[in-house]
Amino acid sequence: MSIIAWIVLGLGAGLLANMLIPGRRSQGLVITCVIGIAGALLGGWLATKLFHVVTRHGFFNLSTWLTAVAGAAILLLAYHLVTSRTAVTRRRGSHNGRRSRRWAHR
């Protein structure tokens, strides 16, 4: 399969993986599609190198789609983990900062 086909496949795989992952979605459509493309490319490369799965049979092959969706889902989960930890750290840091300033004035 050509790189253009993997990009198109990644768009669909990213959207499909986003629907499969439960929870609140903090990213937009563009980020989802970019992560889907990266996940499809990474998933196809890893499947070929690690497991010797040939994913170049065609666009409508089930193994190609499963590889792309799995790669996109893994990257989306990693994105959610990174962004949720960052948001929690920001909330904790700003909350503790306000509390300590308030007590410092008394």
CA distances from 12 to 19, 52, 72 (A): 11, 24, 10
Q: DSSP labels for 51-74? A: S-----S-TT-HHHHHHHHHHHHH
pLDDT for the residue numbered 44: 79
pLDDT for the residue numbered 96: 52
- Mean pLDDT per 10-residue section of the chain, whose length is 106 residues: 79 87 77 89 82 66 82 89 72 54 54
